[in-house]
């Protein structure tokens, strides 16, 4: 099988994976349309197609999350990233925020 024929058969499928929330938070780039925000230091106005790391805190991004809940927008973002050879892992923002909130609540109970 050639690379071309496998390539044409690849599709986006959402995968459930256990992640360390604190790590995700540190290496996350939030994207709203074309502009992004560093999840670590909250620097605004990053370009997810150009900024592989944060110009302020120097975090090299591993994850990306978008404000959009529209799967078509997410797919557009993913295909743009693919074209530019950007291999960030797209995570579901709602899942992530829910998990972060749960983490925070657990921490409260610990104290
Ligand atoms: Zn930063």
Ligand 1 centroid to residue 42 C-alpha, Å: 6
CA distance 24 to 29: 9
Ligand 1 centroid to residue 43 C-alpha, Å: 5
Phi-psi region of 42 (alpha: psi -120 to 50; beta: other; left: phi over 0): left
CA 99-101-105 angle, to 5 degrees, is 115
Question: Model confidence over 45-102: pLDDT tens digits?
Answer: 999 999 999 999 999 999 999 988 888 999 899 999 999 999 999 999 999 998 888 7
Ligand 1 centroid to residue 10 C-alpha, Å: 33
Q: Give yes or no for residue 4 having a pLDDT over 60.
A: no
Measured from the Cβ of residue 53, the count of other Cβ atoms closer than 10 Å reads: 14
Q: What are the boundaries of each domain within the chain?
A: 21-108
Q: What is the DSSP code (8-state) at residue 31?
A: E
């Amino acid at each position: 099988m050639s690379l071309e024929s496998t390539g044409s058969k690849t599709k986006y499928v959402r995968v459930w994976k256990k992640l360390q929330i604190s790590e995700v938070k540190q290496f996350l780039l939030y994207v709203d349309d074309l502009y992004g925000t560093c999840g670590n230091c909250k620097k605004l106005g990053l370009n997810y197609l150009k900024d592989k790391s944060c110009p302020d805190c120097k975090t090299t991004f591993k994850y990306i999350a978008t404000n959009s809940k529209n799967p078509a927008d997410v797919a557009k973002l993913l295909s743009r990233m693919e074209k530019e050879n950007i291999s960030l892992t797209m995570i579901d923002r709602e899942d992530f925020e829910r998990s972060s909130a749960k983490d925070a609540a657990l921490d409260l109970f610990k104290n």
